[in-house]
């Protein structure tokens, strides 16, 4: 029985997670999955009421008692420093050592893409973003009017994310892995070059290539069909993932997973809490549903994952679209349409 810690989040995060939950429970029933969802109160409201974000004991319990974590977007203007989001989201990423940020870039409907004459099969990419190192560690110093940020790349950290990308490609029938860095300008990135070449030698059946990140950003727009699996560092992965989201219709339909094989993964739609949209019933629930599909796949239920993806595609094709992708449907309307497509 998969045990899921459900953290609804703030703003539209709570709204889309509530609607996605109905769809996930429906597919679980259809596929005979005894899904156990435990809703936990971590978010801005608890922080405002108690001054607590998430305690070490609560963090340990989440990891010990659950197989996965489904998290809605965090962020609330009543907490201008975003302390709760930092402790909960980044805390889980680092304390659970979720070093893989997996971001699929998959076009479900050509009408959503800004690219001309693109077909859904032309944009089917997975980005492996290193999730625990780089400049996101926040190391740095101030010396007068000079602000120095330190980027951390360790041998262990670089190798394990590169190896994860190769393993995923091999397991999912992909043929090409692309590594991206900026080693022509950043000497520290040479570790990415040497490690990528060494690991690639262990996978002779896969085609490998390197792209500097600026060139890759251009090529993703010009020729997305040539890319299948991309692996890169924390900062570049963040940027390229959002570029990829733009190719398929925006963050409202973009799923995400934070993983460490053998541990509870953290699954989150990455569109943000969008406080101005709270309560308007216009937020797109598709990203949350597709994030749930990633969760089912990681939990060992690929059939449920494929069914969710099929239901999303069918509902969108019939016009169940929120305003961000050119429609007029509400959050609840879209989720209900997807739920109806499950099993059809």
pLDDT in tens, 167-184: 999 999 999 999 999 999
Please tell me the distance from the alpha carbon of residue 69 to that of residue 298, in angstroms, as a whole number.
12
For the full predicted model, state whether its pTM sits above 0.85: yes
**Per residue in 98-149, pLDDT tens?**
999 999 999 999 999 999 999 999 999 999 999 999 998 888 899 899 999 8
CA distance 322 to 310: 18
Q: Are 289 and 308 in contact (CB under 8 A)?
A: yes
Instruction: Using a pLDDT cut of 70, give the percent of the chain over it.
Output: 100
When pLDDT is averaged across residues 296-313 and rounded to a whole number, the result is 96
Is 90 exceeded by the pLDDT of residue 1? no
Q: At a CB cut-off of 8 Å and minimum separation 6, what does 227 contact?
A: 125, 176, 178, 219, 220
Catalytic residue among 136, 174, 324, 341: 136
109 is catalytic: no
Q: Is 214 a catalytic residue?
A: yes
Neighbouring residues of 27: CB distance < 8 A, sequence distance ≥ 6:
33, 296, 304, 307, 308, 311, 342
- Is pLDDT above 90 for 231? yes
| Predicted pLDDT of residue 63 | 93
Please give the Cα distance from 101 to 157 (Å, whole number). 13
**Does the annotation count 278 as an active-site position?**
no
pLDDT of residue 115: 96
Q: What is the DSSP string of 110-145?
A: GGG-SSTT--GGG-EEEEEEE-SSBGGG--EEEETT
What does the pLDDT read at residue 343?
Answer: 87
* Separation of alpha carbons 52 and 10, rounded Å: 15
Per residue in 38-76, pLDDT tens? 999 999 999 999 999 999 999 999 999 999 999 999 999
Closest-CA residue to 342 (of 298, 297, 289): 289
Which residue in the list 242, 278, 313, 332 is annotated as catalytic? 242
311, 110 in Cβ contact below 8 A?
Answer: no
Q: Is the pLDDT of residue 237 over 90?
A: yes
**Residue 84 token pair:** 């709760």
Q: Catalytic one among 22, 95, 170, 182?
A: 182
Ramachandran angles phi, psi of 22, nearest 5°: -60, -40
Closest-CA residue to 247 (of 110, 101, 103): 110
CB 104 within 8 A of CB 300: no
Asked if pLDDT for residue 344 goes beyond 90, the answer is no
Closest CA to 296 of 284, 315, 311: 311
Mean pLDDT of 320-325: 96
136 catalytic per annotation: yes
**Cα 239 from Cα 229, distance rounded (Å):** 16
- Contact by Cβ (8 Å): 37, 4: yes
Look at residue 32 and tell me whether its pLDDT is greater than 90.
yes
The mean per-residue pLDDT over the stretch 77-95 comes to 92
The H-assigned helical ranges of the chain are: 12-30, 44-50, 56-65, 83-85, 91-95, 155-171, 190-200, 213-222, 234-248, 286-298, 302-317, 331-341
Q: Which of the residues 76, 238, 324, 333 is marked catalytic?
A: 238
- pLDDT class of 80 with cuts at 50, 70, 90: very high
Rounded percentage of the chain residues whose pLDDT exceeds 90: 96
Mean pLDDT of the residues in the chain:
96
149 strand-pairing partners: 140
For residue 71, the cross-strand partners are 7
Q: How much is the average pLDDT of 187-198?
A: 96
Taking the C-alpha atoms of residue 95 and residue 131, their distance in angstroms, rounded to an integer, is: 12
User: Facing residues of 141 across strands?
Assistant: 148
Beta bridge partners of 210: 179
């Amino acid at each position: 029985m998969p045990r899921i810690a459900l953290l609804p989040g703030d703003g539209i995060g709570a709204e889309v997670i509530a609607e996605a939950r109905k769809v996930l429970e429906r597919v679980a029933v259809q596929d005979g999955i005894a899904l156990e969802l435990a809703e936990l109160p971590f978010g801005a409201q608890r922080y405002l009421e108690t001054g607590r974000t998430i305690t070490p004991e609560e963090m340990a319990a989440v990891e010990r008692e659950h197989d996965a974590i489904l998290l809605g977007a965090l962020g609330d203007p009543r907490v201008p420093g975003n302390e709760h989001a930092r402790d909960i989201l980044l805390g889980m990423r680092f304390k659970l050592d979720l070093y893989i940020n997996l971001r699929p870039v998959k076009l479900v409907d050509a009408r959503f893409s800004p690219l001309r004459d693109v077909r859904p099969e032309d944009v089917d990419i997975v980005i492996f973003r290193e999730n625990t190192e780089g400049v996101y560690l926040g190391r740095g110093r101030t010396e007068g009017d000079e602000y120095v940020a330190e980027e951390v790349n360790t041998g262990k950290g670089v190798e394990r994310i590169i190896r994860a990308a190769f393993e995923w490609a091999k397991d999912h029938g992909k043929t090409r892995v692309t590594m991206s860095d900026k080693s022509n300008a950043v000497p520290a990135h040479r570790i990415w070059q040497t490690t990528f070449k060494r690991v690639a030698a262990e996978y002779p059946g896969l085609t490998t290539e390197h792209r500097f990140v600026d060139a890759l950003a251009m090529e993703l727009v010009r020729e997305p069909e040539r890319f299948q699996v991309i692996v890169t560092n924390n900062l570049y992965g963040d940027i390229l993932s959002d570029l990829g989201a733009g190719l398929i219709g925006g963050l409202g339909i973009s799923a995400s997973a934070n993983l460490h094989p053998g541990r509870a993964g953290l699954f989150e739609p990455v569109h943000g809490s969008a406080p101005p949209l709270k309560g308007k019933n216009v937020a797109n629930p598709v990203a949350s549903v597709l994030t749930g599909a990633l969760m089912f796949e990681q939990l060992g239920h690929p059939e449920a994952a494929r069914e969710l993806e099929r239901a999303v595609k069918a509902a969108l094709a019939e016009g169940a679209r929120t305003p961000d992708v050119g429609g007029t449907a509400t959050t609840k309307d879209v989720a209900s349409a997807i739920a109806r497509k499950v099993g059809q």
